[in-house]
Structure 1
Amino acid sequence: MNEQKRSTFAPPSGDGGLVIINYGAGNIQSIMFAIERLGFKAVLSDNPDEIKAADKVIFPGVGEASSAMKMLVESGLDTLLPELKQPVLGICLGMQLMCKSSEEGNTKGLGIFDVDVVKFSNKVKVPQMGWNQIYNLKSELFSGIPENEYMYLVHSFYAPLCNEAIATTNYELEYASALQKDNFYGTQFHPEKSGDIGEKVLGNFLKL
């Protein structure tokens, strides 16, 4: 492991540690590996008490919105997540589910972010898959990260620009590639798949 990276970020300050929410979503292992590369450990859990006690929570997501939301409802996590007071980071579908709704499967979301997720038109290749730039960076989540860095994205649906946007990306049109409201953060891109810059985003989240 890269010892220089280990010393760059301070671990979460409390005793609850870092919890990655386990609700059947894909891509959890790559997030776990990215956290380990930063020198930290994360617990995978669907236990409400463990999630509430965590210092930081990551809400991952790869898959289809209505199926993922159904799993959240069945586990009761749909009511728990919006009530969390610690920093919460939604990634990709996780961020989209934190919005009011999604056109994918006509899905009602958690309503944390005041924006409705919509689909790219047929004028562009869908899904958007690969590297694209982020700019108009507005949050401590992007501390030390220059404008126009490239992040890795895979998605067919997007959150339009809104008051809660903290990063912008252009694919057919400008859209919100990251959101923040109070203690809730979301990235449409995959920081765990975005190299050193993506790991710095995760490291910034751990320092919040």
Structure 2
Amino acid sequence: MTIQLTKENCPEIFEEIVKETRKRLPNGYNRFPDTNGKTPLALCCLAFYPEHYDFEAPCSPTDFEIKLASEFWEDINTIITVTNDFEIEFDICKWLKDEKSKKHCNEQGIAIQIWEQFANPFRHHDAKIYVIHPPSDYLFGVPSIHEFKIEDFLAITATAFKKYSCEVLKVTKQKDRFDKLFAVSAIINIFAISAAILSFMER
């Protein structure tokens, strides 16, 4: 039975697609961690340092970066297969006139959106952290992969969380009252986020 994707049923359908994708992929639970209905790992963590991404593919990628790009496309193709198996209808590339291009854009576009929300973009290899960022161009884009030393990665996370906490303080306009609370909260969350990332990363 064909299912029409709508704004209302989108979260539930995405969850079902991810559950099935997780089953079909090798090491699927590392690549698509089960967050028990909470904020997906990718959205939660990537929000802290988007300005550090390199949106261009490297001219001379390493063997490991080629492996990660290959894994990304394996994820995307598996999501597309699951979506087709579930007979889900959607149209996110309405501007395209060519039906073949439109079909490809729709399938790859929805798969990339699901990947952005639910996939684990972090990998640990050779004492470094690699972050996979999906392409913004659904038709011709390629994933970009950014490499961090572990200490730099954690420092960026800590700095970004501090900035985020300060923004929240400005909104509350109750700085004096919440200074100590956020100081403690920031430390706890830095370690919690770091632990979550390291525990989910493929070794």
TM-score of the superposition, structure 2-length normalised? 0.30
Structure number with greater CO (CA < 8 Å, separation at least 6) is 2
- Bigger helix share: 2
- Bigger strand share: 1
TM-score of the superposition, structure 1-length normalised? 0.30
Mark the structure with the bigger radius of gyration.
2
